[in-house]
Structure 1
Amino acid sequence: MDSSQPPITLLVFVSSLLAAPLIYTLDKLAAMEDSKWIFAAGVVILPLFGLLCKIFVQYSPAKREPLFYVWSIFSFTAVVDMCIALELDGYIKGFMEFYLREGEPYLRSSYGTMINYWDGTGHFAMYLGLIYLLCSGKNYRILGLYWVGSITHSMIVFMPGNVIGNKGIRWSYLLNVPYVYYPIYSGVRFLRDGMKIKHKQISGKTLWERCTEWIFGLWFVVAILIAMFRYVACMGCKEKITQFYLSDVEPYLNDPYQYGRTQALCYFYYFIPMYVASLCCLIFPGQTWIKDWSLIHAGASIQAQLVYIWASLKWRTETEYQVPDTVLARSIFWPVNISLVIVPHLYAMYCHREEIYDFFTNQIVPSFKTEDEDVNQSNEKVLPQRRVTRSQKKQSQHID
């Protein structure tokens, strides 16, 4: 790419902001009163935006990477989602009323609002970061795995929750299909590439590493018990402790929109296998595949917990399903849910501790050389080479 041209990431960012005036215009069209026309508008507009982004990379090697167009189009829709969230909370008006009325009315829930906030902030930042890494020729696989975990989990909870909720589905529901296909496609690609990487084998572990692994192991056991307990509670267990938990600690699990219950089921069916796999890798070290999956798990956990926590507290949720304002409820709710997002990130950092150490040491100490090597190289640079005279050449030949 010519250095005189604007950076591709900046072009995608600015172009994504065009979503705001576009949806404002669509909101004024009478045809948008039909969900089929909303679906048709999405089918037409999104590929056109992809063609616009193709112009940005016509002189860049990134034009051969199909994921560039995926991330560019998703950045456009992230701005749309941000407008939805802002309109739901009353910060703007007249942008997405048609879509909330005829497109996806279930977005009016607290969970739908928060999932749009996360897509318009967290995912939007990831798209721009991925595009920047791709266009600058840097490794984008690590951030890509983190994004795959986040967006895949959002769809695992969001799409089933829409079906079993009380709002029904429309034609616009099909606009979520690319958010299921392309993350899975990307995840398979990134995991295959990870199998080809030769990871550094750690010969021995220090005392702090062994203590850290014990702490992680205990937490994974506790996380498994929490996920099982929530699952049993959501499935209608009549025991006093489960009834107490649903009514006095996390009543959002009984919210009529069903997103809280779907989240609990997701933890049981998907997160517990990850916890068990992590435990096995702690007991039997040397399993390098856990590095990639720890990133996917971390991305899924941040999307799951941030949206779930704020949906449990948000004013849009009915008061009876919000977290009770009692010391007992808060003292259980916050440690449990905060740990479910922090510890997976700490575990991912622990799995990549060698790479993190190499990164920071390479930044601080550019080269690993002995003191003698540095002195010799500095002398070679400083001392000029002496000219050899004819008499010296003859003398050397005579000696030979």
Structure 2
Amino acid sequence: MDTAEYMSGFAQFISASPSSYHAAHEVARQLRDAGFTELHEHEPWVAPTRAFVIRDGAIIAWITPDDVSTTAPVRVLGSHTDSPGFKLKPQSTIGAAGWLQVGVEVYGGPLLNSWLDRELELAGRLVLTDGSEHLVRTGPFMRIPQLAIHLDREANKSLSLDKQRNTAPVYGVGEVGDADVLGYLADIAGVNAADVAGYDIISADTQEPRHFGRDNTLFAAGRMDNLSSVYAGLVALLGAPEGAEHISVLAAFDHEEIGSETRSGACGPFLADVLDRIYEGLGSTREERHRAIAQSWCVSSDAGHSVHPNYVDRHDPAVQPLAGSGPLLKINANQRYATDAQGAALWVRVCQAAGIEYQDFVSNNNSPCGSTIGPLTATRLGIRTVDVGIPLLSMHSARELCHTSDAFALTKAISAFYEGA
């Protein structure tokens, strides 16, 4: 596989994954096609060597080598499937001044202005009264219209959006009573609207991923934070060796953008539950599990920041990673990233084995540092953890930017990690 082939697959993966639920199911589809077995949490597990399980918008997959030891360590690639945007409210159909609008609530921390004047879709899951789930996506359906400059002469000096008043998308004209967003979603999903008891529906930009720039090496798309890491981990796991002395795991959690404190988030029990059942299948004792975790590693992969040419002063003056110069090793003195000296040494070994360059990342002292699933997973499991990711511009925008070489290099590094470097 070369960079072009990898990026083609990545673009298709993004297009198939407008919501965390779609992302989890697209990962599952590719795993299933590669011979992995889907397991269900409410059923007994006669654990096969290559398997996966979905919990809501999260998915965990693993390869357990034949005749592996009861103290075999795990090598976990941690990532997340969700991205900032707008989530459908209980009163989904609203309107004003003859316009039909969609009732939405801000999800996570999106760059609000980047969502203006874009053809957006709704995507996610509908849950019926019988508990069955149905994935749904609308395609281009709505748009958050910006106020014309003629009506706000100061807009280019200071644009401030009220999250309640200024972010409701339009999707038509008419009377609210004559239209129903939820009914439209039900029709697309092929279910009766009266049977829809709940839904988790998020917004997504419908513009296709696009290469551009010098030699077409720049790449723009939505949700690269953090589908870039999910896809890199998926490709690496599909190519992981089965004869290793460790268990290779891909953990793609949901709800990272809102704190991860859910049953499918990194603060929840999902990964611990799966690892417990894997080790139970191996016949491991409690002591042997502790010994296994003590030898294990988690690479927490989440997108980071490239130095921005128009805002260089917002970055650390000495550490300025550039898109196209390799994935990031993310470091924070206050452990907002879980990287420590041992984690840095692991990442050096992994990158050397993969034959790629990497870059350090640290925030400007005057800028608050975001966090990842890394510290959460380390705290939850006691597993050694290092934080990495590809550099982006416009993080949390409806459409982010990366360099193609960084995206491909990340999966090569994760492959080396799964190979035991």
TM-score (norm 1): 0.28
Of Structure 1 and Structure 2, the greater helix share is in 1
Greater RCO (CA < 8 Å, at least 6 residues apart): 2
Of Structure 1 and Structure 2, the greater strand share is in 2
TM-score (norm 2): 0.27
